[in-house]
A = this chain, B = another copy of it.
Amino acid sequence: MSHRKPGRLFFANPGPTNIPDSILRAMDHATVDFMGGDFLEVYDDAVAGLKRILFTEGEVFLYTASGHGAWEATIQNLFSPGDHILMPDAGYFSRTWGTMARQYGLEVEMPGTDWRRGPDVARIAERLASDKFHNIKAVCIVHNETSTGVALSMPEVRAAIDATNHPALLLADTISSFGSFEVRMADWGIDAVVGGSQKGLMLPAGLAFTAVSTKALEAHQHAKLSRYYFDWTKMLARRHRSFVGTVPVGPFYGLRESIRLIEAEGIEQVWHRHHRLAEATRRAVSIWSGNQGVSFFCTDPKRRSDSVTAVKMPDGHDAEAVRKIAYDRFNVSLGAGLEPLGGQLFRIGHMGDLNEPMLLGTLGVVEMSLRLARVPLARGGVDAAIDYLATA
């Protein structure tokens, strides 16, 4: 590199996220045989831990893939061509999954929603109630829309389904919620949880998974979509009960360490910490929103995500200018607006291995970058965050 930004990069994109040094070091490991006893011990420990923090005792199918691969795997393994699914369009990612399902020949019903509020659970309930013949095979929900910073209550969705006695599977994308805020797979009756390594698990991208209920495994028996690389049946026949082909070893040294860190802190304390740091972020944004400045993209305060805050620009201001200043001048990486929201918002990720000084440093740079980009704002956002963190 010919240039040099001094100091540590503050990575405040909403994923991938900061990787603790001890995880990076654990993954910095010479090659071992993925069938050898030494590795299998590591593997089994890691997978058992993953189930504990997912609050499930079901199967967890792991893939060498990113989150998109895990969604593809889930669709291929649960459905047959022509199957009907309900996937509310609540943002970039839910729209992507819907499009993907259509590519595979599914009938995808994607009711539009106000992206700034997320799906109306009552309307999901109504739709299920109207589905007298139970054509709908699954309700697919993005637990936390990373593109908008809107989080949904999965228990509410579960209750809506239960209220109608509808047999549809409940699928949840927890990619940017799991490991950051509460996900209780068994208690909440989720049939398939799609997750990845690169957010709350604090690992690099590259490992993704679907955790499944017994009901989902049964549905899998009848699913006729073509598949091979992601085929659960093949996986179940293997010692690892996951993967087709080579099992990567590095990520499991990392995952074992990730679980150790999470459990040393306590999963509920992890959730609490995320909430606290998210709330500090919201205090800052609330202040900055004075003087017709930036605002919350999510208009429903109860749905503002504990892992990512999307900050909407005032009219006539480009979020990319703010991001560029933060990155070029202060070595802080913020998340961009994803199409069609490009330029309209930036996103502050506050997930994973984060603490107060990391957040305050990030917020300080956001405040400076807004000022330098001449975005109107009321000052004192960082002060408000300090105030909250010193007393909460």
Contacts from A to B (Cβ < 8 Å): 1-11, 13, 15-21, 24-36, 38, 41, 64-69, 71-72, 99-100, 103-105, 196, 198, 204-206, 225-229, 243-251, 261, 264-265, 270, 273, 327, 330-333, 336, 353-362, 364-365, 367-368, 371-372, 379-380, 382-383, 385-386, 389-390
A315 to B335 CA separation, bound complex (whole angstroms): 46
Complex contacts, A332 vs chain B, CB 8 Å: 357
Q: Which residue of B lies closest to A370 (CB)?
A: B390
> Is there contact, CB below 8 Å, between B229 and A273?
no
Contacts A4-B264, A27-B27, A69-B229 known; list 7 others, CB within 8 Å.
A9-B32, A36-B333, A66-B245, A72-B228, A226-B226, A360-B361, A364-B386
Complex contacts, A34 vs chain B, CB 8 Å: 16
User: How many copies of this kind of chain does the complex include?
Assistant: 4
> Is there contact, CB below 8 Å, between A103 and B227?
yes
**Residue of B30, B32, B368 touching A386 (CB-CB under 8 A):** B368
Complex contacts, A250 vs chain B, CB 8 Å: 204, 206
CB distance from A175 to the nearest CB of B (A): 10
Complex contacts, A66 vs chain B, CB 8 Å: 64, 243-246, 248
CB distance from A79 to the nearest CB of B (A): 12
Point out which of A16, A31, A336 has the most chain B C-beta atoms below 10 A from its C-beta: A31
CB distance from A237 to the nearest CB of B (A): 12
**Residue of B7, B204, B353, B371 touching A7 (CB-CB under 8 A):** B353
Complex contacts, A8 vs chain B, CB 8 Å: 8, 18, 20, 30, 353, 355, 357-358
**Residue of B25, B227, B360 touching A382 (CB-CB under 8 A):** B360
Complex contacts, A18 vs chain B, CB 8 Å: 7-8, 30-31
A362 to B11 CA separation, bound complex (whole angstroms): 17
CB distance from A210 to the nearest CB of B (A): 13
Complex contacts, A24 vs chain B, CB 8 Å: 28-30
Q: Which residue of B lies closest to A7 (CB)?
A: B355
CB distance from A287 to the nearest CB of B (A): 11
Complex contacts, A20 vs chain B, CB 8 Å: 8
Given known A-B contacts A30-B18, A30-B21, A228-B103, A7 and B358 have beta carbons under 8 A apart: yes
A67 to B357 CA separation, bound complex (whole angstroms): 30
CB distance from A194 to the nearest CB of B (A): 12
**Residue of B99, B355, B372 touching A390 (CB-CB under 8 A):** B372
CB distance from A3 to the nearest CB of B (A): 7
Point out which of A7, A11, A41 has the most chain B C-beta atoms below 10 A from its C-beta: A7
